[in-house]
Amino acid sequence: MLPHSTLQTDFDRHAFGPDFTWGTATAAYQIEGAVDRDGRTPSVWDIFSKQKGKIKTGETAEIACEFYDRYESDLLLHKELGFNAFRFSLSWPRILPDGIGPQAGGRINEAGIAFYDRLIDHCLSLGITPWITLYHWDLPHALEQKGGWPNRKIVDWFAEFTNICTLAFGHKVKHWIILNEPLAFSVLGYFTGQHAPGRRSFRNLLPAIHHTALVQAEGGRIVRQNVPDAHVGTTFSCSPIDPFTPRDQAAATRVDALMNRLFIEPALGLGYPTRELPFLSGIAKKVAQPGDMERLAFDFDFIGLQHYFRAVVEQSYFMPYLWAKDVSPLRRNVQTITEMGWEVNPETMYRIIRQFGQYEGVKQIYITESGAAFYDTVQQGMVHDPARVSYHQDYLKSTLRAKQEGFPVAGYFVWTFLDNFEWAEGYRPRFGLVYVDFRTQKRIIKSSGRWFQQFLND
Ligand code: GCO
């Protein structure tokens, strides 16, 4: 039971309307484990996380939450919390161990298909609607060896993967998300090297961006063709960008173009934001093939916004191409920060919905991720996380404000269900509503999970 005071909000679930989707979001690599079981081959993250110094804690996701074996009991827990939707991703190397599909000479791993089939059936039997993300960063290593995202062939590789997945699951799953945060895997994976595959060169950046944007639209077209009643969208990481001082306005505009506009604008038929980021004109000059610019557009049914923090930037001559850098919350004396060092500022949820909701082509918005990492500890068998309870209450309130002003917000997915492998940060930052003891795999519902349980069952 929670103390009554922490339960108080001046809104209830009904304020969001009867059709609002309440879900949690996860990703295959962060929870499944079983990385070498039943025919799965390594992804770029398996290779990257074993390289010295890439993961801050030196950990890997070989075991993670053992969701591959525990999905049945875990989903029962999910049901108990009251969420009606579960967002998960398909591990490409579990389904296509060679990366490529049969058309290109590769194999389909039936055991991989069977796992997701069981998972989907289990969701459906519990009355939980499955939402599939096709790509949440675990590129098959076999494809990285062929050049990965900078190789134009990725457009065909992804098309075949999408084709196979939609034909296998499209009769049961109607909600499809093409990509998870394209900016993160293209820029962090191929330019800054902080994420897998850890490549760092400007030469790779433009092709990685362009192929990602093409795949985003092509993937949408394939889903719509194979699953005629599909509800198809894609996700974007996003944050309002504020200038540190009035002099930094131009820097903020450039960072906004990179962080918020780079992938949605081509999808909406607006092209890349080359005016603010002239280096992107290299795409049309050197990377794109004839007809590509039209192929970047796709009429998505919805967009997914993944919003966590506010960003403040200043001008900087040391950061090539962008000429701007982040001003950390610590430097700004912001007290409310998470374990990730991110500023908690609920107002920005409203602002980012408004920013994306103003595009004419955006029909529907889901918050496909929002959440906070804190340093959780178990005390007398319980995990009290009042800061996370407040985070979700406040971010939900801000979401509601945007909805009440008429922005078409249709759902909220908490990042995340279970504490899990937080990419280059390892297991230290815990985002879950459910605590995982990674030594014993024991699960404990945190007070934030209990708060949602009461809120959703009200
Ligand atoms: C991302 C991913 C998630 C993260 C989450 C917290 O946005 O990076 O979608 O996999 O774990 O955002 O950082």
Q: Tens digit of pLDDT for each residue in 198-227?
A: 999 999 999 999 999 999 999 999 999 999
- Mean pLDDT for the chain? 97
Q: Which residues are catalytic?
A: 181, 369
The residues, ordered by sequence, that sit 6+ positions from 33 with a Cβ below 8 Å of its Cβ are 61, 62, 63, 64, 65, 66, 67, 68, 69
Ligand 1 touching residue 181 (CB < 6 A)? yes
Task: Give residue 15 CA to ligand 1 midpoint distance, Å.
Answer: 28
The residues, ordered by sequence, that sit 6+ positions from 73 with a Cβ below 8 Å of its Cβ are none
Nearest to 70 by CA among 449, 434, 443, 453: 443
* CA-180 nearest atom, ligand 1: 9
Ligand 1 touching residue 28 (CB < 6 A)? no
Ligand 1 touching residue 184 (CB < 6 A)? yes
CB 97 within 8 A of CB 140: yes
Quick: pLDDT tens for 309-346: 999 999 999 988 999 999 999 999 999 999 999 999 99
- Whose CA is closest to atom 13 on ligand 1? 422
Confidence label for 1 from pLDDT (cuts 50, 70 and 90)? very low
Q: Say how far apart CA 316 and CA 73 lie, in whole Å.
A: 50
The residues, ordered by sequence, that sit 6+ positions from 327 with a Cβ below 8 Å of its Cβ are 244, 312, 313, 314
Task: Give residue 30 CA to ligand 1 midpoint distance, Å.
Answer: 9
The residues, ordered by sequence, that sit 6+ positions from 10 with a Cβ below 8 Å of its Cβ are 397
* CA-422 nearest atom, ligand 1: 11
Ligand 1 touching residue 27 (CB < 6 A)? yes
Task: Give residue 342 CA to ligand 1 midpoint distance, Å.
Answer: 13
pLDDT score recorded for residue 217: 98
Superfamily of domain 4-457: Glycosidases (3.20.20.80)
Strand order in the sheet with 311-315: 241-243, 311-315, 324-326
Confidence label for 7 from pLDDT (cuts 50, 70 and 90)? low
Ligand 1 touching residue 369 (CB < 6 A)? yes
Task: Give residue 306 CA to ligand 1 midpoint distance, Å.
Answer: 8
Task: Give residue 288 CA to ligand 1 midpoint distance, Å.
Answer: 29
Quick: pLDDT tens for 82-120: 999 999 999 999 999 999 999 999 999 999 999 999 999
